[in-house]
Structure 1
Amino acid sequence: MASGTLREAAELIFRHAVSAVDPCRCVHSHLSRTNELLKAGPREYRLDDFTRILVVGAGKASAPMARAVEEILGNRITDGLVCVKYGHTDVLKRVQLREAAHPVPDEAGVIAAREMLDLMKNVDERTLVICLLSGGGSALFVSPAEGITLADKMETTKLLLASGADISAVNTVRKHLSAVKGGRFAAAAAPATLLTLVLSDVIGDPLDVIASGPTSPDPGTYADARAVLKSYGLLERVPRSVREALEKGAGGAKPETPKPGDPLFRSVQNLIVGNNRQALTAGRAKAAELGFNTMVLSSRLRGEAREIARVFAATAFEIREMNEPVAAPACVLAGGETTVTLRGSGKGGRNQEMALAFALEISGLENVLLLSGGTDGNDGPTDAAGAFAHGKTLFAGSGKGLSASDYLARNDSYHFFEPLGDLLITGPTRTNVMDIQVLLVR
């Protein structure tokens, strides 16, 4: 194993994994042009069949994705606009850039969505629309359905995020409160040819869930959305307009989202260009290069962050005692998206919470470290991507008068790790394929 600390090794592995899902590189690997022939995955498009090419999109990675499309198509692009999270910008020449709030939407996102819908008003059969979607698209591509205000959607989103609902459940509701989600943007773009390039931030890469599926058929229903709110005890807590909209839809008084088999999707291609598994594969190669015996546990981790932390702790003990499931020096990689049910009013995110819960489980265990980080560089409403935890974390905290169990109880992991210098700070990475965990045992 190469010299250096476990912390240095873990960060090298994490950053290498993130670099493998650079949005610009991902687009170039799936979209190419030879003269007047544009190839997108298995499909080909004759550019001389189109008089206009429009580029739209939303998500944390949409700006570098748009830059890649500009590099490929150049002045063939007629017009375009993408909306990104504040600070996740890039230098674009032909596609306009808008910034808006995430994870709770704001008015800037509404305006950007309106501008994209305006671009669709005059499309025809000789228009090619290229849509660029990535993590964060649900909040950044926001157009409340008739009768619902932005404030109503913001309140509903906040309640869902605080409830511990996973992204699939959250987006089931979002799709039925929107004029663009759940395949409705595909309907707005008809009769144009629609090519959507997707950087996945959802477990299993379900096209109808990523960015709430604006260009994908929606198998869910108003009744499903209502059931989500009911299952999390939110049906009577959401704004009245939201509750009434879902009830009307479930009763057949409002048109459903476009479903699988709808003819409008015959001219739509949705193509995944990058995902969490791709990042983990790169991380595994880097760990092996550093001399670790390496395995990928899963790219589908879900559940409460503090419960998943116990799985990593048990794995660390198993490696130390039995050299299973992989012998030390070991690197166990995993990815996915966990959740946090808010019990306190502290500051943190799911990755910091996982790291803190892990530290409580392995206190005193030497030569063990967990890095848990968000590939987008933002863990919850903080400037940290995640945190590092090891066997001496609790002792370091005690030395500064910090009780790990107290900070975990009030969901205040950020303020526990900050004075220890154990936050992972990357800044915006301009990509997003969920989270990555790096467990090292020496």
Structure 2
Amino acid sequence: MTFVRNAAELGGTEARETALACLDAGIDAANPERVVADAVTLDGNELWIADESYDLREFDDVVVLGGGKAGVGVARALEGVLGDRISDGVVVVPDAAELTQVSVVVGDHPVPSERGVTGTKRLLELAGAADERTLVLAVVTGGGSALLAAPAGDVSLTDLQRTTDALLDSGATIDEMNSVRKHLSAIKGGRLARAAAPATVVGLVLSDVVGDDLSVIASGPTAPDETSYADALDVLNRYDVDAPAAVRDRLERGATGERGATGGLEETPRADDPVFDHVRNVVLASNFSSLDAARNEAESRGYGTCILSSRVRGESREAAKTHAAVAEEAIFTGNPVSPPAVVLSGGETTVTVRGDGTGGPNQEFALSAAIEFATAWRGETEVVLASVDTDGRDGGTEVAGAVVDAETVDDVAAAHAALADNDALTYLDARDAIVETGPTGTNVNDLRVVVVE
């Protein structure tokens, strides 16, 4: 399946065609309808999810609840398996769609919105109505942290929006950001599982976080949480986040009060909480799934391959320099793989916003790598780097990422100025380097491909 819409403009050499084909293969491997079809089957009254079965005769209702960027695809696939055995459901997603049994509510990402709050309220009402004869199929996918919006206590939506904006610009990791979000929410940090208890809950998870930590993916609505109000407050302080008074007040009250004590705030449920007695989470797809498919595509084209890591993190522009160095090492020493070679990586890098430009982590990654290609060497060996967010939207932009080589940067000073202003999109777009996919319907984090001829 082809995802890169402007592949014809971005191709032109074997290395570029290979990079684009690897992107397509990697994104396709995380297609939610495909991965659900592989993991979820119905045999009479037995619903099999991975290696465990559920006898549907033991349940009066089957309810689909959740959301995220892959929410529609997962819900559609579940309808394909279960049909009208699904009693009801709500998924909150970034784009409108029509389903038969499950209501689709459009929310917003990366900053939560009123319509996301409305959809999440309906979702929590269904969860609260569940009992011991309800099977809840919880759709947990990347992007759910923003889309599933349920401000807690005295925190308003505006407070949540301002805090999210500040966190996005701060350079905080997704783990750190989500520790804050979980303590400002009525659904995150295991609180969906708490709302649905004593129902049987199965989380169907597409991971977009490094290490597939269930408590971080979509801020872990169905997973135990070991972070605390004090941890969340520490993130705000460490990154000097200018959070609204209601946010700081909530976190400070939670941090100073005893867990569950009168006048304090109840913590997110831990692993030993009985709300998880009937909860199981299954990771259906992850970043490594995409890397493995991209590796297979490269090998089918005759390239040696190396998966550098599925856990790359840190500042985008700095991680890019390491990837450029790996390409250089392959050229001059044949390590970690001899050319012709494809080196792959995934994970989630971050951007500390200091300028007024437009871009995203993958665009900054690509531009920084292109500067290295232009300055470290201009040899006869062709090197191409493609870096995209698998959801098709890099940062707050409508583009997926970029494809660059040693010819992309012809004015190093201008490229450095663009990076300093966080304006990678403008620079790369002017050089026809931008990758356009549109929303892909999935999200398993970043995918990077380095092709060394």
Pairwise TM-score range, normalised by the shorter structure: over 0.9
Shift of 1:4: 4.3
Is 1:434 the equivalent of 2:445? yes
Is 1:13 the equivalent of 2:22? yes
3-state SS of the aligned residue for 1:120? helix
- 1:110-153 Cα shifts (integer Å, max 9, x gaps): 00000101112322111111110111000010100010000101
Gaps of 5+ in 2: 1-11, 258-263
Letter in 1 for 2:316: A
Given that residues 64 and 90 in structure 1 are in contact (C-alpha distance below 8 angstroms), is that contact kept between their aligned partners in structure 2?
no
Gaps of 5+ in 1: none
Which moves more between the two structures, 57-66 or 357-366? 357-366
Matching residue of 2:4: none
- Distance (whole Å) between structure 1 residues aligned to residue 409 and residue 274 of structure 2: 58
Is 1:375 the equivalent of 2:380? no
The structure 1 residue matched to 2:415, chosen from 404, 419, 432, is 404
Is 1:353 the equivalent of 2:358? no
Is 1:82 the equivalent of 2:91? yes
The structure 1 residue matched to 2:141, chosen from 134, 143, 146, is 134
Given that residues 30 and 41 in structure 1 are in contact (C-alpha distance below 8 angstroms), is that contact kept between their aligned partners in structure 2?
yes
3-state SS of the aligned residue for 2:409? helix
- 1:15-60 Cα shifts (integer Å, max 9, x gaps): 1111011001111211111010011123211000011111111100
- Distance (whole Å) between structure 2 residues aligned to residue 122 and residue 306 of structure 1: 48
Letter in 1 for 2:393: N
Matching residue of 2:343: 332
Is 1:121 the equivalent of 2:128? yes
- 1:261-308 Cα shifts (integer Å, max 9, x gaps): 111101111110000001101100000111111110000000000001
Is 1:243 the equivalent of 2:248? yes
Given that residues 67 and 91 in structure 1 are in contact (C-alpha distance below 8 angstroms), is that contact kept between their aligned partners in structure 2?
no
- Distance (whole Å) between structure 2 residues aligned to residue 181 and residue 58 of structure 1: 12
Given that residues 129 and 196 in structure 2 are in contact (C-alpha distance below 8 angstroms), is that contact kept between their aligned partners in structure 1?
no
Matching residue of 1:421: 432
Given that residues 335 and 435 in structure 1 are in contact (C-alpha distance below 8 angstroms), is that contact kept between their aligned partners in structure 2?
yes
Is 1:104 the equivalent of 2:78? no
Shift of 1:92: 1.4
Shift of 1:257: 0.9
State how 1:70-219 maps to structure 2 within 5 Å: 70-85=79-94, 87=95, 89-219=96-226
Shift of 1:388: 1.0
Given that residues 127 and 192 in structure 2 are in contact (C-alpha distance below 8 angstroms), is that contact kept between their aligned partners in structure 1?
no
- Distance (whole Å) between structure 2 residues aligned to residue 273 and residue 352 of structure 1: 28
Shift of 1:319: 1.1
- 1:142-180 Cα shifts (integer Å, max 9, x gaps): 100010000101111111110110100000000000011
**Identical residues among aligned pairs (%):** 46
- Distance (whole Å) between structure 1 residues aligned to residue 331 and residue 198 of structure 2: 60
- Distance (whole Å) between structure 2 residues aligned to residue 8 and residue 382 of structure 1: 24
Matching residue of 1:67: 76
The structure 1 residue matched to 2:65, chosen from 56, 59, 62, is 56
Matching residue of 2:5: none
Given that residues 368 and 440 in structure 1 are in contact (C-alpha distance below 8 angstroms), is that contact kept between their aligned partners in structure 2?
yes
Given that residues 171 and 212 in structure 1 are in contact (C-alpha distance below 8 angstroms), is that contact kept between their aligned partners in structure 2?
yes
- Distance (whole Å) between structure 2 residues aligned to residue 90 and residue 323 of structure 1: 48
- 1:182-231 Cα shifts (integer Å, max 9, x gaps): 11111111111111100000011111110001111111111111111111
Is 1:24 the equivalent of 2:33? yes
Letter in 1 for 2:383: V
Is 1:342 the equivalent of 2:347? no
**How many positions carry a matched residue from both structures?**
432
- 1:368-425 Cα shifts (integer Å, max 9, x gaps): 1110111001101212100011111112x68xxx811111110100001112111010
Which moves more between the two structures, 121-130 or 160-169? 121-130
- Distance (whole Å) between structure 2 residues aligned to residue 98 and residue 301 of structure 1: 33
Matching residue of 1:394: 409
Matching residue of 1:228: 235
Please identify runs of 4+ aligned residues in structure 1 that moved more than 2 A: none
Shift of 1:6: 1.5
3-state SS of the aligned residue for 2:124? helix
Which moves more between the two structures, 24-33 or 426-435? 24-33
Letter in 2 for 1:385: A
- Distance (whole Å) between structure 2 residues aligned to residue 239 and residue 198 of structure 1: 32
- Distance (whole Å) between structure 2 residues aligned to residue 59 and residue 83 of structure 1: 6
3-state SS of the aligned residue for 2:266? coil
